[in-house]
Amino acid sequence: MQWFLPLLVAALCAAPAHAATTSLDGIYALVQRQIPQHQDSFTFSLIEGDGDAFTISDTVGGSGGITVQCTTVSACARGLYTYATQFGGVDIWWTGSRLNQLPATLPEVGQPVDGSAVVPYRYHFNTVTFDYTAAFWDWEQWEAELDWLALRGVNLPLAWVGYEYILTQVFQEVGLTDTDIASFLSGPAFQAWNRFGNIQGSWGGDLPTQWVNDQYALQQQIVQRMADLGMTPVLPAFTGFVPHAMARLYPNASIVNGSQWSDFPSSLTDTSFLEPFDPLFATMQQSFITKQQAAFGANLTHVYTLDQYNENSPYSGDTGYLANISAGTFASLREADPEAVWMMQGWLFFADESFWTDDRISAFLNAVPGSDSMIILDLYAEAAPQWQRTDSYYGKQWIWCELHDYGGNMGMEGNLPELASAPLAALNTAGSSMKGMGLTMEGQEGNEIVYDFLLDQAWSSTSLNITAYVEAWVSRRYTVASLPASAQEAWTILSTTVYSNTNPNTQAVIKSIVELSPSISGLTNATGHHPTEVSYQTNTSIIPALQNLVQAAAQNPLLLTVPEFVYDVVDVTRQLLVNRFIGYYTVLVSEYYSSGATSASVNAAGQPLLTVITDLDTLLYTSPYYLLSNWISDARSLANGNTTYADYLEYNARNQITLWGPDGEINDYASKQWAGLVGTYYLSRWQTFVTYLADITGNGTAYDNTVLQAQLLNIGKAWDQEIWGQSANEPLTTVGTSMTVVDQMIQKYI
């Protein structure tokens, strides 16, 4: 195979990373959506200035209005948010917006308040968030998300929806048939990994044309709204991953096979990769970007996300080969868009650190000319930053990112001290080419405080004071007059324990063993990827925090009308139960290994585990935010009444959060503590486990994990094929009252 370095004809200057709007119409529309009673009370105006900055002041003339002057539309949105939070005492959450609770008479600002971003880019989204959280979102859900992003000052969000629509056209253009393409594209809940080149094809049926068309239409709404709100969408580009049929159609093209991913069979992985130094790559890139510009506008953005080695090993480790890959990729982007900026996730340098040695990283990055030609996401900077070992990515622009949440898991965990210090330290390091801060969580579930904190830190040149920040955060999260001190005390405890985890080996969402496939060993105290080791003492953190929250509700019952308060009480109680589960599991295993164990004694030792699971399901059913039925109904609703299509979408939804593959290839990776999932799937698996241990104890058979896991796999396959709501034991809405159940759980588990 011949490797060569393409010539870059375009002059390389400081390419603008975004081409955001200068119209304020989108901000006024945001006010109409979120604060309709004050839609005439806010005045916005753009002024000259560097970076993203705003000034909030009282409107001259005594009208009782508020004026926000800003250098960019994004800064206007952040200025509005600053007023709403600091003066109005309200906020917008994942559980819903409370901005419409601003007082009828707007509080005065008094002395004008200035604000400015400390970095030019505030980024949001991991490629996989589009599947782990947003796979089945409709426009209403996207609207709420985009308002949340804009108000918090995000100006560089990833926009991945609907990629397959244009990609299919490009594939057809080079001669691929519908069958060829169908064998390549993956199902709705797994598209991110197809885009990464990890998997090809689907299980459960081919990707329907209706899905492709509907998602493209949704993407048109998303990118337009992003632009209206002053954000610059990061759009996809052609990556080079192609169906196997390409090699037959173009036998002389430079096409290699990617590596196997996560034990998937070769039919579902080993994706073909058209190498970027092949002229066909540039042709397809030109076609893709031209079509995308025609669809969304030539100047909507010049930033393109493009990842070719996310958990994929390159064909060769030769530095010349790697340089030609990146040079060819960038050349194709610049040929299609002379102002193109290549964005890539830096995860590969951490996930495959043994391959990506310093000389290979240097060759790969330095083959792309100019410092402004790339933006690299230091994806897991809160625990495993790569910018230091890569000499600030050899001068390329990069963004300090918080990953935190693998697979959309829900355990409580965070490291506020790190977020308060590390991004600013990186920014102020001599020679740093850091240009942004951002969120790259795999799933957008729970632990909202750590994400809010980082986006707010992006607007402060000094480290945020954690104590003061948490106090203000709680005050506007629980919007009641006379907030009891016990509510604040609960979060003081949580912020100094659960959310001050300085152990890098457990700095990701703690995964509960309730959600893991049962086994006699290997479940507890795991560190690293998907840690199960609890990094705090439950008795001195979770329990007193919960007691304080319950006390606050008793002192001011109005708290029970605040959705965020009830959500948090359920969340802390949920964490108590899954932590207690660990102790009961340990007792069961000890009893099984004890010399006097009998079938009856093992079975008896297993009953408390099953009780915890049942109690957990009961608790979660009291909250509308913890329902499996939300995930499934969101999926089915996209079928618009087509039952066959709805069943297909439900299978995708079920399989992702359970087996993640036809045969449990990355089993339980995207597990969730949701009512319905806990009480059917997890309960069934743990019942099987307890019964198995009791049976083999009674008949003297040796423990065989292969036999057990085969039984559990069959449970998963059967569960994935079911249709939700066909049983009386599968409620679609909440059951019971949260505080009543919480009180019961406190009596039982404290």
pLDDT digits (tens, 9 = 90+) for 546-594: 999 999 999 999 999 999 999 999 999 999 999 999 999 999 999 999 9
Instruction: Determine the Cα–Cα distance for residues 737 and 483; give it in Å rounded to an integer.
Output: 22
Both tokens of 493, joined, read 């405890």
User: Checking DSSP bridges between strand 397-402 and strand 434-439, what pairing results, if any?
Assistant: parallel
- CA distances to 92, 93, 140, 636 from 144, rounded to whole Å, are 9, 9, 6, 20
pLDDT of amino acid 441 = 96
57-71, 181-195, 417-431, 682-696: the lowest-pLDDT one: 57-71
pLDDT of amino acid 61 = 84
Backbone φ, ψ for residue 96 (5° rounding) = 140, 165
pLDDT tens, position by position, 455-513:
999 999 999 999 999 999 999 999 999 999 999 999 999 999 999 999 888 888 889 99
pLDDT higher than 60, residue 627: yes
pLDDT range class, residue 13, cuts 50, 70, 90: very low
Specify the CATH number of the domain 488-749.
1.20.120.670
Higher pLDDT, 529 or 179: 179
User: Checking DSSP bridges between strand 42-46 and strand 53-58, what pairing results, if any?
Assistant: unpaired
Assign domain 25-116 to its CATH superfamily.
Chitobiase/beta-hexosaminidase domain 2-like (3.30.379.10)
> Which positions ≥6 away from 19 have C-beta within 8 Å?
232, 299, 300, 301, 302
Query: Average pLDDT over the chain, rounded to whole?
Result: 95
CA-CA-CA-CA dihedral for 25, 30, 31, 33, to nearest 10: 130
pLDDT of amino acid 728 = 64
pLDDT tens, position by position, 47-100:
999 999 999 999 998 788 999 999 999 999 999 999 999 999 999 999 999 999
The CATH class given to the 121-464 domain equals alpha beta
Among 693, 667, 679, CA closest to 577? 679
pLDDT tens, position by position, 123-144:
999 999 999 999 999 999 999 9
DSSP structural state of residue 241: E
pLDDT tens, position by position, 324-374:
999 999 999 999 999 999 999 999 999 999 999 999 999 999 999 999 999
pLDDT range class, residue 3, cuts 50, 70, 90: very low
Any idea where the domains of the chain sit in the sequence?
25-116, 121-464, 488-749
pLDDT higher than 50, residue 8: no
pLDDT range class, residue 16, cuts 50, 70, 90: very low
pLDDT of amino acid 508 = 84
Instruction: Determine the Cα–Cα distance for residues 214 and 14; give it in Å rounded to an integer.
Output: 37
Instruction: Determine the Cα–Cα distance for residues 285 and 293; give it in Å rounded to an integer.
Output: 12
pLDDT of amino acid 504 = 86
